[in-house]
Amino acid sequence: MKRRTFTVSQPGPLGAAVESALGPGQGALVARGAVYVDGKRVVDPARDLRAGQVVSAVVSEGGASTLEAKAAPPALHIVFEDAALVVVSKPSGVLAQPSPGEVGSSLLDQVSAHLGHPAGLVHRLDKDTSGITVFGKTKAATSALAGHFREGRARKLYLAVTPQFAPAEGDCALPLSRDPSRPGRWRASSKHQGVSAHTTYRQLGGKDGLVAVALKPLTGRTHQLRAHLAALGAPIVGDRFYGGAPTFEGTPVRCLLHALELALPEGTFRAPPPADLSHALEWLGVALPPPGQ
C-alpha cells in the first residue's frame, strides 16, 4: 500500500476534492476510511475543506484504489440488535476498524454499511481475536456505551489456550508499558513505569501441559490479556508476537483468544467459540463456563 497526498487548492467538500485529485469514483475512498485530512481520518465525503489543508488517500501499489485491494470479508454475524445497539461476533482475521494499510473490510465498515451510517465504535478486539463486540447505533447510544466501558459497567469474559501455569486461579495487576525492543508489543512488569492494568483468571482444565483459561480484564488496555499471560509464563498458543507456541497438535493456529461474553446494563451477550477454539476445548476436555460465571 502507498499514499497519494495533495494540498487543497480551493474550498469544497472532501469527496469532490478526492475525485478531482485522484480521478472519478475515488471519492468513495472517504467512506471506506482510507482518507486522512491533516493526518486525521475523515469518513464524511461532505466534510468542507479549507484551501491549504493536506489530504492523504491510501491506495494500493501502482496507484490503484484500495476499493479493489481486498477480498470480501466474512458475512456479518449479528448476535443482537435493537434501536440503540448492534452486538456482533467478530471472526478472527478481521480488523475492528480500518487501518492505513487495510481499509474497506473492517468490522466497523461492515456494521456501518449494515446501518447505512457510521456506527459507534467503543471498544476493539485485536485482528486475530474472535468474539463478542458491540457498536452504538446513535450518538446517544454510543456515548452511553463508552460510559459503561469507562466506568467499569461493561464486564468481559475471554477464553484462551495457554501452557499450564501456577497458581491455577488468581489475578495479575502488573502495569503495562511499550516494549522498546519490539515495536507494537507491550510488556507487563513492575520494573517499568506504565499504565495500570488488572486481569483475573481461572484455569478451566486441560491436559498434556496445556489448559483453557477464563480471563476477566478489569481494565481495557491494549494487548492486556496477551501481555499479562506472557508475564505469567503462559503466552497464548498461536500468539507468536508474545512468545506463544505457533502450533496446536502440530497444526499452525492463530492466537487462540476469544471474547466469549459481554455483560452490559442492557443485557448479557455471548459469541460461541469458532471452530478452531471449539476443537481445542474439546481436545482439552473443557466445557464452556455457564453464562455469568
Q: Show which residues are catalytic.
A: 126
CA distances for 35 relative to 10, 20, 64, 191, angstroms: 18, 14, 14, 40
**Rounded to an integer, what distance in angstroms lies between the CA atom of residue 128 and that of residue 238?**
10
- H-helix or E-strand containing 281? helix 275-284
Beta bridge partners of 181: none
**Rounded to an integer, what distance in angstroms lies between the CA atom of residue 155 and that of residue 264?**
7
CA 245 to chain centre: 22
Phi-psi region of 69 (alpha: psi -120 to 50; beta: other; left: phi over 0): alpha
Q: Whose grid coordinates read 488517500? A: 57
Residues contacting 121, CB < 8 A, separation 6+: 96, 97, 108, 135, 142
| Number of Cβ within a 10 Å radius of residue 76 | 16
Beta bridge partners of 136: 85, 120
